[in-house]
Chains A and B, each alone.
Chain A
Amino acid sequence: MNILVAHDGSEQADKALKRAVDLAVMAKASLSVLSVVPDLCMMELSDDDCKSMYKIMTNESEKKLAALKDDLSKKGVEMDTAVKFGNAADIIIRACTDKKADLVVVGSHGRHGAKKFLLGSVSSKVVEHAPCDVIVVK
């Protein structure tokens, strides 16, 4: 079994990650952690600028997940990480197919969930369009 969990650095995403880790340990499944970062590369920035920005953000989230990876490998759970830039819902849905995931775990709302009208816009889109089963962690 292959479990995909999406992470955007928010508290809710930490919850989702924790739940996904529990599930993976329980089911002896492999875990893919997908860090989703909004793509802030824009016209004002040259390619080099964008690359250096991506590098800083990628290094950061890989560093953050390194400890978890060690911990999981001791428990016999394989884990791979990836950092993707762009629209969160689109990226998660695409990764679902690419990684041949059986299950996707997402938080109920992301970094900007405080704003009511945005609540859960990513998770609901994933629920609606993802080709696999989805768990929304509340």
Chain B
Amino acid sequence: MNEEKRSPVTLIIGLILLAYALVLRSQNAALAPEGLVALADFLKTGKTLGTQISVGLWSGIIISVVGIWNLAMPSMTSKFDKLVRAPMAGIGMIIALCYITRFYMEPLIKVWGKQAQPALGWDFSSIFGLNYILLGIILGIVWVNTIGIPAWMQAGVKTARLAMKTAVITLGTMYSITELKYLGGLSILMVASFVMGTAIFVLWLGKLAQIPRPLTGVLAAGLGVCGVSAAVAAAPVVKARGVDMAYSIGMLLLVGVVGLFIFPPVAKMVGMNELQFGAWAGTGILNSAQVAAAALIFDPHTIETLKVAEIFNITRILFLPFIVIMLAIWFAKGEEEAEGKVNVNLGKILVDKFPLFVLGFILMFAFSSTGVFTPKGVELHGKSFYSFKIDEKKEVRTRDLKKIQTMMESGAVTDAKVKAALEKLVADKQITSAEQIPLVLKAQDFTPDKDMKKVFQDADKKVQTKPETMEMMREYMMWLFAFGLIGLGMQITWTTIRQAGGKAAMIGAFTGVTKAVLSFFVCWLLIKGSI
């Protein structure tokens, strides 16, 4: 945003969002001619009108107010101005792009995919996974590399980082303790071996190819841990030159982007489940934001894959200080031979490199596990929220209960614990405790009959609940991710990728592909079951 000129652009964008929300609202009440609502019917986005209106109203009002303020007092000097007033136009524009991709492009492509299916024989929208997350990233990439980001949008695009971090912190509220324990253990095992393995491999490869040590060091961090941010974090301790950083950043971005587009369709093709894909993306994709992007491209409508991938990503980020320390020692050793000692302050690296948002994530998890976000009696187990309060609506149908009884009498259920749980279910007519859930679901193993399996699944579903606060938080988190990922696309520039070059590009491509393929097989073949 230009600091002296009066620019109406913030106000214009705010008013457009506001007008859109108001038009939708009036049509919702059947006051105005069909137009948008008919379009919503065609695109099957009718259910989203509520969200569209409320987000449009709120963001429209806030952005318009700031827009008037920007017009009245164009000078921007304080920190608040730079953090809130300057980025508002860009924020509004990205919100508008969120609307376009989520409520128009994705549904339209879905409709087209269905229409073209008879002719093509396949549905291109679902095969390519053309959902709004992917479309948003593509839109961002195309935008920045063709027309470029105008000056008034730049500050807004930069807020994408904050949006992503906030989204991840919010995600912290959505884990149950069992989930976190299981994923934490698995991710430490996977990440530790891949991070260390890759870093050591790159150091060895660098020596073999006789690449300057600073460049090798930066590449080892970037390819081993979390891409661009790790490379820059390691740069000072290995005395990297500007050109080393430029080479590595360009290459890491390129390898990450390629992975981002290739991982999801490959996983769909071989039929990976949420746990497998989350683990693969969290291990094999280099940059943090790209991990979240891949998980959401794979599965934009539930958050299970994202939850797995983020735990892996966070575990990986926590390894960064250790890799930086390792590189510092490795570099100092080489330097000692050449020209005396290099001082490395290990404690300072540990403190400086600790990512604050991880602390936020852990705090939010701790906070939510005390139950502040959920109504009384609602508990999170595995993927879903449950309420066990006795309620007629939760009761299993009488004929289903009879079926269960018949099944038990036939002696099909051999497990004593499952049997006890089913007996309790028949007596109470509904599931009454968390311990009962896995046992009732396990009862499916004792019958080949699909309808019978469904009886047990229904019993589980009946006690599930969707607490309003959590639903709202999920929705707002998805907006933050969608916003952040359009911003991510807008930072994938040809100028940056073009920086990749020389031997760095070769080592990067080779290591990146090896890591992706190896972690693919490990996740696909060794990780069984689901969360």
A12 to chain B, nearest CB (A): 16
Main secondary structure on B side of the interface with A: helix
| Whole-angstrom CA separation of A44 from B222 in the bound complex | 12
Determine the residue in chain A with the shortest Cβ distance to B239. Answer: A56
Using a CB–CB cutoff of 8 Å, the interface residues on chain A facing chain B are: 9, 37-38, 40, 42-46, 48-50, 52-53, 56-57, 60-61, 87, 112
> How far apart sit A87 and B104, CA to CA, in the bound complex (Å)?
33
Known contacts A45-B228, A56-B241: A40-B235 contact under CB 8 Å:
no
Q: Which residues of B contact A40 (CB under 8 A)?
A: 245-246, 249-250, 496, 499
A-B contact pairs, 23 of them (CB 8 A): A37-B242, A37-B246, A38-B246, A38-B495, A38-B499, A40-B246, A40-B249, A40-B496, A42-B253, A42-B491, A43-B160, A43-B161, A43-B289, A43-B484, A44-B227, A44-B228, A44-B288, A48-B352, A50-B232, A53-B245, A56-B236, A56-B241, A57-B242
Q: Which of B280-307 contact A (CB under 8 A)?
A: 287-289
A42 touches B242 (CB 8 A): no
> Considering the chains assembled together, what is the distance between the CA atoms of A43 and B164 in angstroms?
9
In the complex, are the beta carbons of A112 and B496 less than 8 A apart?
Answer: no
Residue interface mask B483-502, A partner, CB < 8 A = 1: 01001100100011011000
Give the contacting residue for A9; candidates B160, B243, B495; CB below 8 A.
B243
Chain B nearest CB from A23 CB (Å) reads 27
Query: Does B507 make an interface contact (CB < 8 A)?
Result: no
Is B11 located at the chain interface by the 8 A CB criterion? no
Distance, CA A48 to CA B352, complexed state (A): 10
- How far in angstroms is the closest Cβ of chain A from B350? 15
Number of B interface residues in the complex (CB < 8 A): 32
B218 to chain A minimum Cβ distance, whole angstroms, is 11
Nearest neighbor of B484 in chain A, beta-carbon distance:
A43
Contacts of B96 in A (CB 8 A): none
In the complex, chain B residues 223-263 whose Cβ is within 8 Å of any chain A Cβ? 226-229, 232-233, 235-236, 240-243, 245-246, 249-250, 253
Q: How far is B2's CA from A114's CA once the two chains are assembled, in angstroms?
A: 35
* Chain A nearest CB, measured from B157 CB (Å): 9
Chain B residues with CB below 8 A from A45, complex form: 228-229, 232
Q: In whole angstroms, how far apart are the Cα atoms of A24 and B242 in the complex? A: 29
Determine whether the beta carbon of B228 is less than 8 Å from that of A42: yes
CA distance A93 to B241 in the complex (A): 27
Tell me, in angstroms, the Cα distance from A45 to B234 when the chains sit together. Answer: 13
User: Which of A40, A52, A60 is the most central at the interface, judged by chain B CB atoms within 10 Å of its CB?
Assistant: A40
- Minimum CB distance partner of B163 in chain A: A43
Most buried by B among A44, A48, A50, A87: A44
Question: Would you call A60 and B242 a contact (CB within 8 A)?
Answer: yes
- Select one of A49, A60, A87, A112 contacting B232, CB under 8 A: A49
**Restricting to B10-31, which residues have a CB under 8 Å from any CB of A?**
none
- Which residues of the partner chain B approach A44 to less than 8 Å between Cβ atoms? 226-229, 287-289
A-B residue pairs, 4 tightest by C-beta: A57-B242, A44-B228, A42-B491, A49-B232
Partner of B498, one of A46, A50, A61, A112: A112
Please name all residues of chain B whose beta carbon is closer than 8 Å to the beta carbon of A50 when the two chains form the complex: 232
Q: Is B229's CB under 8 angstroms from A46's CB?
A: yes
Q: Told that A44-B228, A53-B232, A60-B241 touch, could you supply 13 new A-B pairs with CB distance under 8 A?
A: A42-B491, A43-B484, A44-B288, A45-B228, A45-B229, A46-B229, A49-B233, A50-B232, A52-B235, A56-B240, A56-B241, A56-B245, A61-B242
Separation of A56 and B243 alpha carbons in the complex (Å): 10
